[in-house]
């Protein structure tokens, strides 16, 4: 059966699964559009234009960081490709990293000191009501 299916597929047919059966339907160029629809072209172009605007805004972040234009563009949506960069700027990650430098290691050492005094093998008894 499997060999027969492959032969049929190679001859220009594809498998179409129904509820309880499998049909062999001839390939057709009408299955997939050859060119994108006009509305798809337009939406793709709008997305590219939005990305260009956001890139320009990221380059001049100091100027735009407190502007109403930034707020409006955020409400319209941040392009997926640039979300990481934009959120990094919005949260001021560079400054926070510089201010917090070395604090992670200090907290980790404190946590290790506390955990060394605690027993890791403690078990908690849980009483479940009888069903």
In a domain, 62, yes or no: yes
pLDDT in tens, 15-70: 445 455 555 555 555 556 667 788 888 988 999 999 999 999 999 999 988 889 99
In a domain, 5, yes or no: no
In a domain, 55, yes or no: yes
Q: Which of 51, 85, 53 is nearest to 67 (CA)?
A: 53
In a domain, 95, yes or no: yes
**DSSP H helical segments within the chain, as ranges?**
2-10, 38-59, 61-64, 68-76, 83-90, 93-99, 103-117
Q: Which of 48, 47, 67 is nearest to 57 (CA)?
A: 67
| Count of structural domains, the chain | 1
Model pLDDT, residue 7: 47
In a domain, 105, yes or no: no
Q: Which of 17, 33, 36 is nearest to 25 (CA)?
A: 17
Rg, the chain, Cα only: 30
Identify the domain containing residue 86 by its residue range: 51-99
Q: Tokens 């590219």 identify what position?
A: 48
In a domain, 15, yes or no: no
In a domain, 58, yes or no: yes
Residues pairing with 14 in the sheet: 25
Model pLDDT, residue 69: 92
In a domain, 18, yes or no: no
């Amino acid at each position: 059966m499997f060999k027969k299916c492959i032969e049929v597929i190679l001859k220009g047919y594809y498998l179409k699964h129904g509820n309880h059966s499998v049909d062999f339907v001839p390939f057709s160029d009408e299955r997939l559009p050859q060119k994108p629809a006009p509305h798809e072209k337009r939406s793709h172009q709008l997305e590219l234009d939005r990305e260009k605007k956001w890139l320009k805004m990221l380059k001049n972040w100091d100027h735009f960081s407190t502007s109403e234009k930034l707020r409006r563009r955020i409400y319209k949506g941040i392009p997926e490709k640039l979300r990481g960069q934009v959120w990094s700027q919005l949260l001021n990650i560079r400054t926070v990293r510089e201010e917090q430098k070395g604090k992670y290691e200090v907290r980790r050492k404190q946590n290790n000191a506390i955990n060394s005094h605690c027993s890791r093998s403690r078990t908690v008894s849980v009483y479940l009501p009888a069903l």
